[in-house]
A = this chain, B = another copy of it.
Amino acid sequence: MLSTQLDATFSALADPTRRAILARLALGEASVMELAAPFAMSQPAISKHLKVLEKAGLVSRGRDAQRRPVKALAEPLAEATKWMETYRETLEMNFSRLDDLLEELKAEDAAKTARKTPKGETQ
């Protein structure tokens, strides 16, 4: 669980162009030109984005004559998803502990109030 892998995955996902590319690739392989078409951006720019995605392991490249078809890979997402899930679980645990604490404090306070308030009286 190298930190650098997570860095690469989250960095790759942090760019809207790259997320759009991945969204497109989720529907199936595509060539660089096909991927570049929807964007107001040069082909070399897209090639660079693809290099980022490839370094992060989010895509792999094939070979079909002059084309280098790009294919999405699912694996690297697992680690990133896991990090986020673990984080959220810890957060939630902490919140529920906080809730418990608040409950405790409330109960304690009620007890004190009860002690201060003579038997049978209400407040």
Residue positions of A touching B, CB distance < 8 A: 3, 6-7, 10-11, 13-16, 19, 22-23, 26-28, 72, 74, 77, 80-81, 83-85, 87-88, 90-92, 94
Q: Shortest 4 CB-CB distances between A and B: which pairs? A: A10-B14, A26-B90, A11-B14, A10-B13
The residue of chain B having its C-beta at the shortest distance from the C-beta of A23 within the complex is B87
In the assembled complex, 7 residue pairs joining A and B whose CB atoms fall closer than 8 Å, in A order, are A10-B13, A23-B90, A74-B91, A77-B84, A77-B88, A81-B81, A84-B84
* Contact between B94 and A28, CB atoms less than 8 A apart: yes
Task: Among A26, A81, A85, find the residue whose CB has the most chain B CB atoms closer than 10 A.
Answer: A26
Q: Compute how far the CA of A111 lies from the CA of B92 in the bound complex, rounded to whole angstroms.
A: 56
Chain A interface mostly: helix
* Contact between B77 and A92, CB atoms less than 8 A apart: no
Name A80's contact: one of B6, B16, B23, B84 (CB within 8 Å): B84
